[in-house]
A = this chain, B = another copy of it.
Amino acid sequence: MFIAIDPADPLPIYEQIVRRLKFAIANGAVRSGELIPSVRDLARELAINPNTVARAYRDLQAQGIVSAVRGTGLVVATGAVDRCQPERLKLIRARLRQVFEEARHSGISDRELKKLIAHELGQLKRQKVSP
C-alpha cells in the first residue's frame, strides 16, 4: 500500500495520511480516476481510528485532490497531479524558510548556519546507503 503511518512522528496522523497520498499522486503511483481505499479499509489496515482516516479524506476532498463518486467511493480528481506536484516543493520550502528564520532569530550567523546545513546534508547521504 502507498500509505504508512509513523506514530512517533509529531505530525498528526490525519496529516500524515494527507501528505502520503499527495506524494503518491505527485509520484504517479496513484493516478487520476483511481479509487482510494475506503475509510474502513484503510483504518483497519493502519490500525487507527476510522475518524482519523475520515478527517484526512475530508481534508483531501476540501482541497479538491479527491472527489466522491456516489455509491462507489473516493477517486483521485482529474488534475490532482498538477496541484500535488508543486505543493510538495512549496511545503518543503516553507519549512526550510521557517527553520532558517528561527536560526537567525536565535542569533546564529549565516556562516554557522551554512556549516550546520552542510553537516546535516552529509549525514543524510551517509544514512542513505543502508538505512
Residues of A within 8 A of B (CB): 7, 12-13, 19, 23, 26-27, 49, 59, 62, 69-71, 88-89, 91-93, 95-97, 99-104, 106-108, 110, 112-114, 116-117, 119-121, 123-125, 128
Report the Cα distance A62→B59, complex, angstroms: 9
Candidates B88, B96, B101; contact of A106 at CB < 8 Å:
B88
Residue of B nearest to A104 (CB): B124
Q: Offer 16 A-B interface pairs, CB within 8 angstroms, sorted by A.
A: A12-B70, A13-B70, A26-B107, A27-B107, A89-B108, A89-B116, A92-B99, A96-B99, A96-B116, A96-B117, A97-B120, A99-B99, A100-B124, A101-B124, A110-B125, A117-B117
- List 12 other contacts, CB 8 Å, given A23-B106, A62-B62, A89-B108: A7-B69, A59-B62, A89-B116, A92-B108, A92-B116, A93-B120, A95-B102, A96-B99, A96-B116, A96-B120, A97-B123, A99-B99
Closest beta carbon of chain B to A128's beta carbon, Å: 8
